[in-house]
Structure 1
Amino acid sequence: MLQNSIHIWITDIEKIDDPYMLDVYRSILSPDEIQRCERLVKEQGRASFLIAHAMVRSVLSNYVEIAPKDLQFKSNANGKPKVFCEQGRPLPLEYNLSHSGRYAVMVVTNEIDCGIDVEKIDSGRDYIEIAENTFSVAEMIDLQSVGEEEQAKRFYTYWTLKEAYIKAKSETIASSLNKISFDLHHQNQISVKLDNSGDEYKNWQFHTQLLDQEYILALALQHNSPFDIKIELFETIPMQVFG
């Protein structure tokens, strides 16, 4: 299913309010996942966690024909998970998950390093102050070059790209964000480089997309293909992936 393509799966969390389905989702999670869920204070946060992590298991199970409950996960030193079968054998997939507000999104690849991030575009947030501490000089110039109505969207475009890139590289958010500089206008493509360096990071493909007027996602892929890999988007309800 992943031949020459990347799959992005999107779940609208607000469409799932059936307590029975939440119980189903809980039943396929591991004891560790359930403990992490129960540590969340707010009920909505717990529901979002259940839906997002059930989504991961439900989607991945359709690629490898293993029951969602039987999938196992192990994380590297920076917390990026890898999926394994019940016998402890790593499966030939890479994936990444993000959820914010009403959306959970995940990317699935054929062993291509990937990162994804989704954020709500909050125009009331003091994003200029945040940008001053986390954006490169070039990014700040671009952010301040657009009108006030466009600034929030531009800020979250950069922010989600940085998050997706760091997740794809399996780095921590403590990395110097202001040294990672994106160019949204490089030959009609998005490129990344170290600020104040002429060397662009090679072998990267980026994608941004509005899910609606309030949410934006960004995808980062590292691969050796000279051409962009096709990106396909699917909407899903966990445990009803192809229904």
Structure 2
Amino acid sequence: MERGVQRWVVDISEWDPSPHDFSSALSLLPPLEQSSVTRFVQMEDRKRALVSRLLQYALAHQVLAIPFHEIIINRTLEGKPYLECGHACLDFPNFNFNASHHGDYVAIASEPLCLVGVDIVSVVIPQKETPIEFVKNFSSCFSSFEWDNILNAGTSDDILTEFYRYWCLKEAYVKAIGSSIAYGLDKVEFHHSCWTSISVNIEGKLMREWRFWLLELGKGHLVSIARGHPRSATESYMRTLKQAEFGEEEYQTALHLPNAGFVSRTVEQLVTVLQKARDPLNHL
């Protein structure tokens, strides 16, 4: 099942497309996906949205070998993307994926059985308020334990980074279960040892069926991965999964699969993959 554990990342700061190149890449997507990209006004937001979708289609094609025209990606009411794969995903009991973008990076992560959530944050210094003033806007999202750790992290820059570390992990968890609601995040409490061996308590209970990783991407960006049990999915997302219950041995094997390192992709590579997938006869 290890082949189902994929981690891809694109640095979009290195992509400055001409209007023609952008339109050409956009045209690879189905019409509904195109409109979900062009609804953004700012070009940087359009780039992030486009690359996120290119990653999703390229992943489905390369990992699952689904013919391009058979790839169907829908979204739950909460906005979580999912693959309608039918017979194409027989190699994996519960293949699912998640994407994230912030700042210079766009990333995607997939799992063969467990739920997966990924979140990127750019540790940006606020422009109109101090770091402490900024983080205090989110105090209700943290437990008293987490909040004490944030405020006592050291300098104002240390406080800001600590805030983003916790926030990144919480977002990955929320995205893994398919929720769009931030309410109750203070009940999702993270513990760690120097930001390794990360665990989560939910309403005071240690959740042993979840694992987390927090990594540095570079240029002041952090990325987190959440891996957990399908039974934790929201109702709408659970309906998209092939299976929610597994035997303990099968689940533990999936939970402890190696966490693959992020592989760097370029937009040009993704475009080439999808062009060949869409028009295979023109690339022989």
State TM-score, norm by structure 2: 0.75
Q: Report the Cα offset of residue 43 of structure 1.
A: 1.9
Offset of 1:89 from its aligned partner?
Answer: 5.3
Distance change >3 Å, CA 52–CA 6, structure 1 → 2: same
2:178 is aligned to 170
Which residue does the alignment assign to 1:118?
120
Deviation per residue, 1:5-52 (Å, 9 max, x gap): 722110001122233542332122121111111211112211221122
Alignment of 1:135 onto 2:160: no
SS in 2 for 1:184: strand
> Which of the pair is proportionally richer in helix?
2
> Distance between the aligned counterparts of 1:100 and 1:53, measured in 2?
14
Q: 1:230 is matched by which residue type in structure 2?
A: P
Name the CA distance, whole Å, in 2 between partners of 1:174 and 1:161. 13
Change in Cα spacing, 1:49 to 1:65, as seen in structure 2 (3 Å) is same
**Contact 1:181–1:193 (8 Å) recurs in 2:** yes
Paired residue for 1:206, among 188, 204, 212? 212
Is the Cα contact below 8 Å between 1:82 and 1:90 reproduced in 2? no
SS of the residue corresponding to residue 173 of structure 2 reads: helix
Out of 236, 244, 257, the residue aligned to residue 229 of structure 1 is 257
2:159 is the alignment partner of 1:151: yes
Greater CA deviation, 93-102 or 167-176? 167-176
Is contact 1:5–1:231 with CA below 8 Å preserved after alignment? Answer: no
- 1:19-30 pair list within 5 angstroms: 19=18, 20-30=20-30
Which position in structure 2 is the counterpart of 1:181? 189
Distance 1:89 1:22, change over 3 A: farther
Shift of residue 190, structure 1, vs aligned partner: 0.8
Q: Which moved more, 1:38-47 or 1:69-78?
A: 69-78
Pick the structure with greater CA Rg. Answer: 2
- TM-score (normalizing by structure 1): 0.87
Alignment-derived partner of residue 38 in structure 2: 38
Q: Distance in 2 between matches of 1:4 and 1:66?
A: 15
Give unpaired runs (5+ residues) of structure 1: none
- Contact (CA 8 Å) 2:141, 2:186: kept in 1 or not? yes
Partner SS state of residue 256, structure 2:
coil
Could you say what secondary structure the match of 2:135 adopts? helix
Distance in structure 2 (CA, Å) of the matches to 1:31 and 1:201: 41
Question: CA deviation digits over 1:136-191, x for unaligned, max 9?
Answer: 11100111221123211111110010000011111222331111111123995111
Counterparts of 1:4 and 1:46 in 2: how far apart (Å)?
Answer: 30
| Distance in 2, Cα, partners of 1:206 & 1:13 | 25
Structure 1 stretches of 4+ with a deviation exceeding 3 A read 67-70, 88-92
Determine if contact 2:116/2:225 at 8 Å carries over to the other structure.
yes
Q: % of aligned pairs identical?
A: 23
Larger % of strand: which?
1
Number of residue pairs the alignment of both structures matches: 238
Structure 2 residue runs of 5 or longer lacking an equivalent are: 230-250, 274-284
Aligned equivalent of 2:56: 56
**Structure 1, 179-188 or 4-13: larger mean CA deviation:** 179-188
Cα distance in 2 for residues equivalent to 1:41 and 1:4: 37
Report the aligned-residue RMSD: 2.5
Structure 1 residues 164 and 105: alpha-carbon distance in aligned structure 2, compared to 1, 3 A threshold: same
